[in-house]
Chains A and B, each alone.
Chain A
């Protein structure tokens, strides 16, 4: 299974690998959500949705359905 931002644990960090561009708004990319950048999950609202992330220094909240389209790789 491909790992996405939606699979991160609270506090966990990862590197963005790829983004399913048709399902992710340009605005998110402009805020620094781009391949190669680091993403960290900071907080979760109840039911793990929305997700409060830090990507490339931007603190953002996105919905789980969007997070599912941001592929990541975790340093193993």
Chain B
């Protein structure tokens, strides 16, 4: 069997590392999590020459081995732990040709760890436009490594990189920079205390505040006890180290890199002049947001109608084809109806992820951070909170994780606490179906009224997030230094392949994760709705027929009346009736009440739940929307979903904290149950109140 080679891709953010990873592995990749933490772990397999397979690990982007976030810790933990099963046989440092100087800092650090390190200089296609020329052989000599000049955009140089990876054994492991010159005496003592250890490695262990896992823990403990230097002294030494590394890099680049600035064409400056303009910058940002929401609403309408209809006929087909019985109705009424409630939202979610990944890939997101920082700070947030708040429109879970690069703990905590107010894609199903029921499909000026309502709901989400941030900023007494550094990457045309893989990956995990919950809940609901505790349930047919004979309703309605009587007397009916007093003032009946409760597992369950409840005992092929429209008020005979109850539902979903996964993530990121419990209580309580007021005012 051929030996498997471990390769680690390392690099600064915005160097096209993920594109290189995609080129090397194709679709042969999987995304998981590092054990115990929520940092995304991307790995894949790449076939090299002579049947060798390389296991490629795409490590989180980092500027140096001095970690300041969880994502960066992952890199250091791996590189310092030779016993880790992913410990690289060879490291590939991906760098950006335009930022070589800064990128080489990380390269020298990794090389000094004694790992064979290949330098891949990416974006070589930009060299001509930027009038950059490199003396590669000379650079290889100075850095004592092999260099691949690649362009992940044009798919150039990847084969050469693969070849270098297969020949990794020929690469020197000699360090570039002797870090011990920064404090010779101190390093001398270290050397004497740990004669068998690599000095630079020791230095990193001492300076990093990283949990190195179970392996080598004892050994690490003794090393950590060597932290005799004071913290500020250590920091000063780290700076010294940075300075000597840059000195080395400058010397190398002086001989190998030339930039003819006169010939360099600069698109960045021109675009920045508009996109970060004091007025136009904001106008453009809001225009882009508007566009996104209009598109999500209008374009996805067609595939959604198609999916809705397909599931209705699938359910019908199953009923007709399979022998009738409990199992068939479980499949047709429970599972298919429930799953239809999630599959229908794939188009919208895919569109949303598409836009978000385009905004991030193009480099535009950093400009938004720049524009918004001052405004956001007023509310106790950071410019970097914009990324979580915007990506929170897809899902709060990755959004909460995206707060990790916010330097100040207070700003970060507030961002985490308010992010669940932004309209996530799980709310979208609820919004869409209710909007289509209670808001007329008409034009107001140029805007579709339904699209406008959706946009208002998104704005409401953002507004509430910002407002509560302001409040939290006043209430929370946390002192923390607020550092703020963000790189403004070059503008790039988003690569189709990267965007496509991203959209596919995210949509898939949304559907699978949500699908699992929904499937389970659908089955439970169906069972609860199909069986009842009392005799009234089993004798439903006789009781209702008797009512008909007494002249309570016409014979044509018999079947429907039996079905609804049964539902009322089923387990779920009893449960629903029990909670009805609590939801009635909001304008809901017990069926919606059940849907509200199941929604606390995940919001998108709402539609599936109603679909399951409404379809039990119904023989006709119908879409979810139609069924909801047909629901009437028991007393007045008016539609159950009218403007007042619809508005009340929309507002309830806008504010309530109904997502167990988000609560779990918040617990993990804040390391305390206090904050997620606060979210659950305050948000849901507020939601109830607002929904109550809205219904009472508009009814």
Residues of B contacting A29 in the complex (Cβ-Cβ under 8 angstroms): 239, 242-243
Residues of B within 8 A of A22 (CB): 232
Q: Which residues of A contact B66 (CB under 8 A)?
A: 26-27, 30
Q: A72 to B374, alpha carbons, bound, how many Å?
A: 24
Chain A nearest CB from B488 CB (Å) reads: 4
B369:A61 contact, CB within 8 angstroms: yes
Q: Is the CB of B236 within 8 A of A34?
A: no
Interface string of A33-60 (1 = CB under 8 A from B): 0100000001111110110100011111
| Cβ A34 vs Cβ B243 within 8 A | yes
Question: A47 vs B239: C-alpha distance in the bound complex, in angstroms?
Answer: 31
Contact check, B488 vs A52: say whether CB atoms are below 8 A apart. Answer: yes
Tell me the bound Cα distance from A32 to B163 in angstroms. 32
CA distance in complex: A30, B168 (Å): 28
B600 close to chain A: CB less than 8 A: no
Are B374 and A49 in contact, with the CB atoms below 8 A? yes
Q: Is the interface of A mostly helix, strand, loop or mixed?
A: mixed
A63 contacts chain B at the CB level, 8 A cutoff: yes
**B531 proximal to A (CB < 8 A):** no
**A25: B residues at CB distance < 8 A:** 68, 407, 483, 485
Distance between Cα atoms of A34 and B246 in the complex (Å)? 9
Identity of the chain B residue whose Cβ is nearest the Cβ of A19 in the assembled complex: B239
Closest to A32 in B: B102
User: How long is the Cα–Cα vector from A41 to B370 in the complex, in angstroms?
Assistant: 14
- Tell me which residues from 10 to 31 in chain A have a Cβ below 8 Å from any Cβ of chain B: 21-31
Whether, in the assembled complex, B278 has its beta carbon less than 8 Å from a beta carbon of chain A, the answer is yes
In the complex, per-residue mask of B38-75: 1 if CB is within 8 Å of any chain A CB, else 0: 00000000000000000000000001101010000000
List the count of A-B residue pairs having beta carbons below 8 Å apart: 106
Bound-complex Cα distance A42 to B271 (A)? 12
Neighbouring A residues of B487 by C-beta, 8 Å: 31, 58-60
CB distance from A70 to the nearest CB of B (A): 12
Interface membership of chain B positions 364-402, coded 1 if the CB is closer than 8 angstroms to chain A and 0 otherwise: 001001110110000000010000000000000000000
Asked if B156 is at the interface (CB within 8 A of a chain A CB), the reply is no
Nearest B-chain residue to A46, judged by Cβ? B278
Contact B488 A61 (CB under 8 A): yes
Please state if B246 and A28 are interface contacts (CB–CB under 8 Å): no
**Contact (Cβ within 8 A) B101 A57:** yes
> Which residue on chain B has the smallest CB distance to residue A48?
B374
B298 on the interface (CB 8 Å rule)? Answer: no
Is the beta-carbon distance between B105 and A45 smaller than 8 angstroms? no
Cβ of B99 under 8 Å from chain A: yes
Contact of A50 among B243, B374, B489 (CB under 8 A): B374
Residue B238 at the chain A interface, CB threshold 8 Å: yes
Contacting residue for B272 out of A43, A47, A56, CB 8 A: A43
- Asked if B166 lies at the interface with its beta carbon under 8 angstroms from chain A, I say no
> Which bucket holds chain B's interface residue count?
35 or more
Which residues from chain B contact A49 at a C-beta distance below 8 Å?
A: 373-374
Tell me the count of chain A residues lying within 8 A, CB to CB, of chain B.
Answer: 32
**Are B488 and A59 touching (Cβ within 8 A)?**
yes
In the complex, what distance in Å separates the CA atom of A45 from the CA atom of B276?
7
Chain B positions within 8 Å of A56 at CB level? 101-102
Q: Contact between B68 and A27 (Cβ–Cβ < 8 Å)?
A: yes
- The residues of B that contact A62 with a CB separation of less than 8 Å are 484-485
Known: A30-B66, A31-B487. A50 touches B102 (CB 8 A): no
Query: How near does chain B come to A44, taking the closest CB pair, in angstroms?
Result: 8
Report the Cα distance A21→B237, complex, angstroms.
11
Within 8 A of A (CB), among B274-308: 276, 278
The answer to whether B488 touches A21 (Cβ under 8 A) is no
User: What is the minimal beta-carbon distance from A8 to any residue of chain B, in angstroms?
Assistant: 16
A51 to B407, CA, bound (A): 17
Return the chain A residue nearest B69 by Cβ: A27
Question: B235 is contacted by which of A21, A34, A58, A61 (Cβ under 8 Å)?
Answer: A21
Residues of A within 8 Å of B383, CB to CB, are 50, 61
For residue A32, which residues in chain B have a CB less than 8 angstroms away from its CB? 101-102, 246
Q: Say yes or no: B374 contacts A47, CB within 8 Å.
A: yes
Chain B residue nearest to A28 (CB atoms) is B485
On chain A, the residues within 8 Å of B371 by CB distance are 45
Contact mask B329-373 → A, CB, 8 Å, 1/0?
000000000000000000000000000000000000010011101
Known: A28-B485, A66-B483. A50 touches B373 (CB 8 A): yes
Distance, CA A42 to CA B99, complexed state (A): 17
Contacts of B102 in A (CB 8 A): 30-32, 56-58
Report which of B232, B366, B374 forms a contact with A45, defined as CB distance below 8 A: B374
Evaluate contact between B482 and A63: CB separation under 8 angstroms.
Answer: yes
B484 CB contact (under 8 Å) in A23, A26, A58, A66: A66
Q: Mark B83-107, 1 if CB is under 8 A from A, else 0.
A: 0000000000000001101100100
**Interface pair A46/B374, CB less than 8 Å apart:** yes
Minimum CB–CB distance for B362 against chain A, Å? 15
Q: What are 19 inter-chain pairs, A to B, with CB distance below 8 A?
A: A24-B483, A25-B68, A25-B485, A27-B64, A27-B68, A31-B487, A32-B102, A43-B370, A50-B370, A50-B484, A56-B102, A57-B98, A58-B99, A59-B489, A61-B369, A62-B484, A63-B482, A66-B483, A66-B484
- Chain B residues in contact with chain A, CB under 8 A? 63-64, 66, 68, 98-99, 101-102, 105, 232, 235-236, 238-239, 242-243, 246, 268-269, 272-273, 276, 278, 366, 369-371, 373-374, 383, 407, 481-490
5 closest A-B pairs by beta carbon, nearest first, are A59-B488, A25-B483, A61-B370, A63-B484, A30-B64
19 more A-B residue pairs beyond the given contacts A28-B485, A31-B102, with a C-beta to C-beta distance below 8 A: A21-B236, A22-B232, A23-B481, A25-B68, A25-B407, A26-B238, A27-B64, A27-B485, A28-B483, A29-B242, A30-B105, A31-B487, A32-B246, A47-B374, A58-B487, A60-B485, A60-B487, A61-B488, A62-B485
